[in-house]
């Protein structure tokens, strides 16, 4: 059975993506910090007859993230799809927002640690095996400020843009290796940001396996995912 690992899996987008891939027969591995919430999500997926397991790890604690992937490999086998979409809610040391005039090394570093180092660490746990097997998908979610500078996101945008830069290069460097990597910036108003509507597009991106970047805007969401039109 194929496995999707979701890094930063909560009740919003992570859970919706889990349901979509689970409905297509995937085993689901959820990675987040809160054990009881992970257990709750695994329970809800179980009610839908989706095989899932939760792995407690903190992206800011690299060793715990590496261990989570070791545990996934042992418990659920190789990861076929990696989806990275942590939402920095709750206690995140130093993860404040700063405008361009207030950007400092101190308020950029945590965002780099979270988005860039987190994504690099997670990818490093699955990519060698994907390349060896000649198959796999890597999807990295950010916000629009990774693509279009937004003054309100002066420091976060630096990290998102760095992650985007790496993923676009990764996409090109994986050409011909059977592994697909893409950056998925979300640009959604509060009304549009329904994870149940967003998640099917991740299945669509995975199955199509084309393009280095897919901006999911309200307009895109209002059109059905292409694989559902077929």
Ligand X SMILES: NC(=O)c1ccc[n+]([C@@H]2O[C@H](COP(=O)([O-])OP(=O)(O)OC[C@H]3O[C@@H](n4cnc5c(N)ncnc54)[C@H](OP(=O)(O)O)[C@@H]3O)[C@@H](O)[C@H]2O)c1
Positions that interact with ligand X (CB under 6 A): 8-14, 32-34, 37, 57-60, 85-90, 141, 143, 186-188, 193, 195
Considering beta carbons, is residue 78 or 143 the nearer one to ligand X? Answer: 143
| CA atoms within a 13 Å half-sphere pointing along the CA-CB vector of 177 | 19
**Dihedral class, residue 61 (left if φ above 0, else alpha if ψ from -120 to 50, else beta):** beta
Coil, strand, or helix at residue 95? coil
**Shortest Cβ 134–ligand X spacing (Å):** 29
First to last CA, the chain: 24
Scan for tokens 């180092």, then name that residue.
117
Considering beta carbons, is residue 4 or 59 the nearer one to ligand X? Answer: 59
**Shortest Cβ 198–ligand X spacing (Å):** 7
**Shortest Cβ 217–ligand X spacing (Å):** 9
Whose CB is nearest to ligand X? 10
Q: Could you count the other beta carbons within 10 Å of the beta carbon of residue 68?
A: 24
Considering beta carbons, is residue 11 or 128 the nearer one to ligand X? Answer: 11
Considering beta carbons, is residue 135 or 213 the nearer one to ligand X? Answer: 213
Considering beta carbons, is residue 131 or 168 the nearer one to ligand X? Answer: 168
**Shortest Cβ 14–ligand X spacing (Å):** 3
Considering beta carbons, is residue 22 or 86 the nearer one to ligand X? Answer: 86
**Shortest Cβ 175–ligand X spacing (Å):** 26
Across 83-95, b (16+ Cβ under 10 Å) vs e yields bbbbeeeeebeeb
How far, in Å, CA of 154 to CA of 97, rounded? 7
Contacts of 216 (CB under 8 A, 6+ apart): 184, 185, 186, 187, 188, 198, 201
Q: Residue 102 corresponds to which tokens in the numbers above? A: 């207030």
**Shortest Cβ 101–ligand X spacing (Å):** 24
């Amino acid at each position: 059975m194929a496995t999707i690992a979701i890094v930063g899996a909560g009740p919003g987008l992570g859970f919706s993506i889990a349901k979509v891939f689970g409905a297509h027969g995937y085993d689901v591995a959820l990675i987040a910090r809160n054990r009881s919430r992970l257990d709750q999500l695994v329970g809800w997926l179980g009610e839908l007859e989706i095989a899932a397991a939760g792995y407690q790890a903190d992206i800011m604690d690299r060793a715990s993230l590496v261990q989570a992937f070791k545990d996934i490999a042992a418990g659920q086998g190789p990861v076929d799809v990696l989806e990275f979409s942590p939402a920095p809610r709750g206690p995140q040391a130093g993860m404040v927002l700063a405008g361009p005039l207030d950007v400092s090394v101190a308020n950029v570093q945590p965002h780099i640690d979270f988005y860039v180092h987190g994504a690099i660490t997670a990818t490093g746990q699955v990519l060698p095996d994907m390349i060896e097997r000649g198959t796999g998908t890597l999807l990295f979610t950010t916000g629009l400020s990774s693509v279009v500078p937004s003054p309100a996101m002066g420091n976060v945008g630096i990290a998102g843009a760095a992650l985007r830069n790496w993923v676009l290069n990764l996409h090109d460097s994986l050409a011909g290796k059977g592994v697909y990597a893409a950056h998925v910036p979300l640009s959604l108003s509060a009304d549009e940001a329904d994870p149940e509507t967003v998640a099917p597009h991740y299945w669509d991106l995975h199955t199509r396996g084309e393009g280095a970047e897919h901006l999911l805007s309200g307009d895109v969401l209002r059109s059905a995912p292409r694989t559902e039109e077929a």
